[in-house]
Structure 1
């Protein structure tokens, strides 16, 4: 499986408007309203519970909010970009511009960790980060990821 097997044009948001952590998480979850995902409230709860354990803002303008749910049947990967940046309690105290949200079924712990590790490796590549920061369409996001996308 590759990241582009689960990241789709429908789950890519290149112009986030939210200004704080709860609002950006809600905005990022909006594409799932037309899917088989649990309610937005249930998804928000799992993401906010994870944030209370420690911010998923890893620094350098990046956050990877993630969670596992018992009643989730599919794996969801959402990408979002904020031009102005969002205060997200990141490790470096800087605003976050790039978001990858990972939601997996609770029984898929191994897969959840593999996706998290794959995104982390991808974002260590400066050229990918730069292309994602400049992306203004879902196609540009997919094109930025594709050359480095490998099976996990």
Structure 2
């Protein structure tokens, strides 16, 4: 599985405007709907909020992977956003979060969902990669960096 299979260039935000966790979830949902019009914004926001109630998806090092499952979906979809200012996302390390990878999977897709989460988590463990994303000026540049890094063996 490659990230290119579920992250389209249209679903990348180079400079998020959100300042709070709920705003981040909304902005990522709006972007997902823009890239995939068959999705419903309110349902996406609710699914992501419900998952956050179980515990923050802020994994530390400035990265969060809000995620959830949605009935009626046929395949995994994602949105990615960069917050230059950083947001208090209640990350496990207590630091501001800058990189947000929202992942929404079909309701009965545990294996695919978990593989995608693991792949994203592994990719964003690399400090040089995280820095390159923060330095990238456009959504197209960010998308290209993610796809390029994900293609490495």
TM-score, normalised to structure 2, is 0.91
Farther-moved stretch of structure 1 (12-21 vs 1-10): 1-10
- Structure 1: 4+ residue segments shifted above 4 A: none
Give the structure 2 partner of residue 17 of structure 1.
Answer: 17
1:133 aligns with 2:113: no
Q: How does 1:49-128 map to 2 (within 5 A)?
A: 49-128=50-129
1:38 aligns with 2:59: no
- Mark the runs of 5 or more structure 2 residues left unpaired by the alignment: none
Deviations for 1:50-104, whole angstroms, at most 9, x for unmatched residues? 0000000011111000001122223211110001001111111111100000001
What's the offset of the Cα at 1:38?
A: 3.2
Give the structure 2 partner of residue 2 of structure 1.
Answer: 2
1:145 aligns with 2:146: yes
- Mark the runs of 5 or more structure 1 residues left unpaired by the alignment: none
Number of residues of Structure 1 aligned to a counterpart in Structure 2: 151
Output the aligned Cα RMSD: 1.6
Deviations for 1:21-66, whole angstroms, at most 9, x for unmatched residues? 0011111111233424432111111111100000000111110000
TM-score, normalised to structure 1, is 0.92
Query: Residues of 2 paired with 1:70 and 1:92: CA distance?
Result: 32
